[in-house]
Structure 1
Amino acid sequence: MEYLVIKAGGSVIDDVSPTFYQELAEIQSEGRYQPIIVHGGGKLITRLLGQLDIPTTFVNGLRVTTVEMLDVIEMALSGSVNKMICRSIQSSGGRAVGISGIDGGLIQGEQISEELGYTGSPKKITEDLLIDLCGKGYIPVVSPVGQNASGQRLNINADTAAAAIASALKCPLLLMSDIPGIYSDEAGERKILSAVSTTQADMLIGDGTITGGMIPKVNGAREALINGVKEVLIFSGKAEKAISAYCKGQKIGTKIYLSEELLHA
């Protein structure tokens, strides 16, 4: 059995394929892969903050997190979105347990910078908690709210959290997105790249082809690959049976590789 970390982004979680949750249950029952879900909830967080007249700003795709935002973020991620995913998995025949990065010290992190406030990056993953849940037949569903050494809550980008968990488990990382992969724009023609190196991805960030929330995905992919993740895939969460296709070795989305791997391929 191999672990499979799947990041379900807040931008697509409301619009995933109707088969998504059934796929998770089927993949687990087949026994070859054990799915672990790490989810976002950005759309709900932004909506709730707007209702409270709390302004939202982003820097390179990361939300600037203030103290007054933390209760809203934790409520949205660890409460509403997390339990909705668990209910959906269980309604489709699977068994799910929802946890946050705070539970059991799963995601221990630190603040990235003063500019980003209480937005954090993961520094240590307590993977034994996930391994135990998987061993008992559950699909872990992880909300990316972590804490630092002094117990301060941190809002951690879901792509970054998923990359850290996949690194700890040395397994593939699948990043669901609202687009089917990384695009190139050559001679005015836009097409999906089936594979890119991290160097190529950096160039696409530099020329403005990759922007916004795709930047943390690429940066998280790089860190994951450096730290032992087997491969990283970005694909559309709206595509039917996309995860099943991946498990069968079929080509979907965009795979990201370390530059050295491409050079010696």
Structure 2
Amino acid sequence: MKDIVVIKCGGSTIAELSTEFFKSVVNMQQSGKHPIIVHGGGPAINQLLQKLDIKSEFVDGLRKTTEDVLDTAEMVLCGKVNKQVVTSLYQAGGQAVGLSGCDGKLLEVRPINEGMLGYVGEPISVNTSLLTSLMDLQMIPVIAPIGMNNEGVHYNVNADSAAAAIAKELEAEQLVFVTDVDGILKDGKCLDKVTAEEIEAYIADGTIYGGMIPKVKAALLTLTDSLQSVMIMNGKSTNVGKNGSVQGTTIIKTKMKQFVS
């Protein structure tokens, strides 16, 4: 299947996604492309953990996941947040199906470091036939990043990693990271295209700063030989053209020099 666009929506941006954003995703589908949404839910998870008085900590940017934390994350991601996104797409005129990585063994995972991180996994395979079947039915898959292993044990999966794995296995045309700005800004203008080398220079000179730094680093880590461009776009406004093309900053992989984080 061609023209697949994997859209990763971070938990911090989910609540702020505009009606226009969801209409843009529906318009993208109606133009002949096949969008897939992978979402996080960190702030909502934090709120429920605090309400339930369950302690949580991060190790190297990943949430240490005990059984209690996993139960809470699964409740929020697969329940509340997932269905909010599905409902928003419906209200925008589209048809969507909410899934977790456990449904149809969509995301088979293995633990990253159980001793240090607990129930945190990384994808090792994707049930692409399930996704293509749904897209053939003109459904927009909305995926919560909870996966499982061969024994049926559930694991929390970083949404960036889940989106990258899905994009790679489906040989997606594009992977999009949705944030709260139009893209990478320089002198007040959104850059259309940047290379890994330019990003390194922009971080060094302060053009890229603050919360954009981890976003661009995460984007760079997803680049592979088959997926050589990643886009950062704004979820608060309409950034999809009439032909279904996404508008923002495209990050391109280059072979001359690898980005070092």
The question of a shared fold, defined as TM-score above 0.5 by the shorter chain, is answered with yes
Determine which of 237, 240, 244 is the counterpart of 1:243.
240
The correspondence of residues 164-203 of structure 1 with structure 2, limited to 5 A, is 164-171=165-172, 172-182=174-184, 194-198=192-196
Q: Secondary structure at the match of 2:34?
A: strand
Aligned to 1:71: 71
The correspondence of residues 40-59 of structure 1 with structure 2, limited to 5 A, is 40-59=40-59
Report how many residues are paired: 254
Contact 2:19 2:88 in 1 (8 A): no
Distance 1:145 1:5 in 2: 17
Q: Secondary structure at the match of 1:244?
A: coil
Q: Structure 1 residue 125 and structure 2 residue 126: aligned? A: yes
Superposition RMSD in Å? 2.9
Structure 2 spans left out of the alignment, 5+ residues: none
Distance 1:15 1:135 in 2: 30
Specify whether residues 231 and 65 from structure 1 end up closer, same or farther in structure 2 by C-alpha distance, changes over 3 A only.
same
Q: Structure 1 residue 145 and structure 2 residue 146: aligned? A: yes
Aligned to 1:256: 251
Q: Quote how far apart the aligned CAs of 1:244 are.
A: 3.2
Which whole-Å deviations, capped at 9, do the CAs of 1:184-233 have from their partners, x for residues lacking one? 8xxxx8986554444565687899966779637634x3453215124211
Aligned to 1:215: 214
Contact 2:56 2:69 in 1 (8 A): no
Q: TM-score, normalised by structure 1?
A: 0.83
Q: Structure 1 residue 30 and structure 2 residue 31: aligned? A: yes
Distance 1:262 1:247 in 2: 32
Distance 2:121 2:205 in 1: 27
Contact 1:60 1:213 in 2 (8 A): no
Moved more, 74-83 or 105-114: 105-114
Q: Quote how far apart the aligned CAs of 1:28 are.
A: 1.2
Distance 2:9 2:225 in 1: 21
Contact 1:110 1:148 in 2 (8 A): yes
Distance 2:61 2:195 in 1: 21
Which whole-Å deviations, capped at 9, do the CAs of 1:120-165 have from their partners, x for residues lacking one? 1111111111000000111111111001232211111111111110
Which whole-Å deviations, capped at 9, do the CAs of 1:7-33 have from their partners, x for residues lacking one? 1111111111221222222221221x1
Specify whether residues 190 and 136 from structure 1 end up closer, same or farther in structure 2 by C-alpha distance, changes over 3 A only.
closer
Structure 1 spans left out of the alignment, 5+ residues: none
Contact 1:231 1:257 in 2 (8 A): yes
Contact 1:177 1:237 in 2 (8 A): yes
Which whole-Å deviations, capped at 9, do the CAs of 1:53-74 have from their partners, x for residues lacking one? 1222223332121111111111
Specify whether residues 40 and 245 from structure 1 end up closer, same or farther in structure 2 by C-alpha distance, changes over 3 A only.
farther
Aligned to 2:224: 226
Distance 1:203 1:105 in 2: 41
Contact 1:111 1:119 in 2 (8 A): yes
Contact 2:27 2:244 in 1 (8 A): no
Distance 2:233 2:189 in 1: 14
Distance 1:258 1:206 in 2: 19
Distance 1:112 1:146 in 2: 13
Q: Quote how far apart the aligned CAs of 1:116 are.
A: 2.1
Question: Kindly, what percent of the aligned residue pairs are identical?
Answer: 39
The correspondence of residues 151-170 of structure 1 with structure 2, limited to 5 A, is 151-170=152-171
Specify whether residues 46 and 107 from structure 1 end up closer, same or farther in structure 2 by C-alpha distance, changes over 3 A only.
same
Q: TM-score, normalised by structure 2?
A: 0.84
